[in-house]
Amino acid sequence: MTCQELTEVLTDYLEGVMPPEDVARLEAHLELCEGCVTYVDQMRETIRTVRALRVEEVEATVPDDVVEAFRAWKRGEPLPGT
Amino acid sequence: MITSDEQILAALKRGDEAAFIQLVELHQTLMLRIARRYVRSSAVAEEVVQETWLGVLNGLERFEGRASLKTWIFRILTNRAISRAEREGRTIPLSEFEPAVDPDRFRSEGDPYAGGWKAFPASWDALPEERLLARETLALVGEAIAKLPERQHLVILMRDIEGWSAGEVCEALEISEANQRVLLHRARSKVRRVLESYLEPELVLT
């Protein structure tokens, strides 16, 4: 496995869906290649950073029309536009 | 607090308005955010989300529970958003192949080490602990994600920001596991590239 190949299959590895023989090749490559170890670290850090964008949901407002639709549905009335 | 799909469904079928409102509150923000990626304006996105709830109510009797309630709702949402986008004359482009890393970073064919790094990426370990999570960095990452092609954007949003499983994303977007991974791969690789060029000046290159 070359470094370039590793950068293209890394998500399969991190997602845990890579066939075992490919995992072995990838890990053998990492044993020998400091650059790719750094690359994998960077990708893990990237994922961690993206995860940090999660915000506690601000209370969503429920539109009146949606509540009205629920009441109409409950009464068995046909709903518009569907 | 109602939690399981069965409980929510039973409550809805009983006509429990509080349960319905709780369900809407839970998903509304993300639904608007997703719809907005497909259509021209926030107003249209709100309409699409509203139509989705009508679709959910109308489909409730037929919902079989093969998918989770959440992914079923988001599937209705994305289908409606896509058809609305098509009516607006927009098309959702397929992601084109884009290498994870600029090919110039690797030794070219003919070189005995073809496909190997010309220069190793610089380690981020030297950065101060809080550097990656600094407000400015997060803003940059948020911008990079906003600029991704639609489907890459949705996958990284659902997987990494919202914390959905791969299976849930596949169900909601009606895509294969392999396709989901390709989109996630492109999206994460792009964000890494943006971070790398942003952080580079701060790193001592070795």
User: B115 by DSSP, 3-state: which?
Assistant: coil
Which chain B residue lies closest to A77 (C-alpha atoms)? B58
CB contact under 8 A, A67 and B17: yes
Residue pLDDT, tens place only, B139-167: 999 999 999 998 999 999 999 999 999 99
Instruction: For domain B120-202, say whether CATH 1.10.10.10 is its number.
Output: yes
How far is B158 from B165, CA to CA, in rounded Å? Answer: 8
Q: What is the pLDDT of residues B110-124, one digit of tens each?
A: 899 999 999 999 999
Q: How confident is the model at residue B77 (pLDDT cuts 50, 70, 90)?
A: very high
**Residues linked to residue B106 through DSSP beta bridges, in sequence order:** B117
Of the two residues B88 and B51, the one the predictor is more confident about is: B51
Contact (CB, 8 A) for B37 and B93: no
Closest chain A residue by Cα to residue B123: A38
Helical (H) or strand (E) element with B194? helix B177-199
Cβ-based burial of B125 (10 A; exposed 0-12, middle 13-18, buried ≥19) = exposed
A80 token code pair: 């518009």
- Grade residue A76 by pLDDT with cuts at 50, 70 and 90: confident
Q: Mind telling me how many Å the CA of A24 is from chain B's nearest CA?
A: 19
Above pLDDT 70, what percent of chain B? 95
Query: What class does CATH assign to B5-87?
Result: mainly alpha
- Residue A2 touches chain B, beta carbons under 8 Å: yes
Q: A80: which chain B residues are within 8 Å (Cβ-Cβ)?
A: 54
Q: Which of helix, strand or coil describes residue B106?
A: strand
Q: Closest by alpha carbon to B97, among B167, B190, B191?
A: B190
Is the Cβ–Cβ distance between B132 and B122 less than 8 Å?
Answer: no
CA B173 – CA B155 distance, rounded (Å): 9
Is the CB of B54 less than 8 angstroms away from the CB of A69?
A: yes
Is residue A43 within 8 Å of residue B186, measured between CB atoms? no
What CA–CA distances, in Å, run from B55 to B2, B145, B182?
22, 29, 30
ipTM over 0.90: no
Q: Taking a contact as any Cβ pair under 8 Å apart, which residues of chain A between 18 and 57 contact chain B?
A: 33-36, 38-39, 41-43, 45-54, 57
State the average pLDDT for chain B: 91
**CB crowding A43-69: b at 16 or more within 10 Å, else e:** bebbbebbeebeeeeeebebeeebeeb
Which of A3, A61, A81 is facing B106, going by the closest CB pair? A3
The domain segmentation of chain A, as residue ranges, is 3-72
Q: Where are the domains of chain B?
A: 5-87, 120-202
| Mutation for A interface: B188, B204, B205, most A CBs within 10 A | B188
Ranges of beta strands (E only) in chain B are: none
Query: Which chain A residues are closer than 8 Å to B100 by Cβ?
Result: 7-8, 10
Entry pTM: 0.86
Taking the CA atoms of A70, A72, A77 and A80 in sequence, report the sign of the dihedral they define. negative
Per-residue pLDDT band at B206 (split at 50, 70, 90): very low
Q: What are phi and psi of B78, to 5 degrees?
A: -70, -35
Is the CB of A35 less than 8 angstroms away from the CB of B124? no
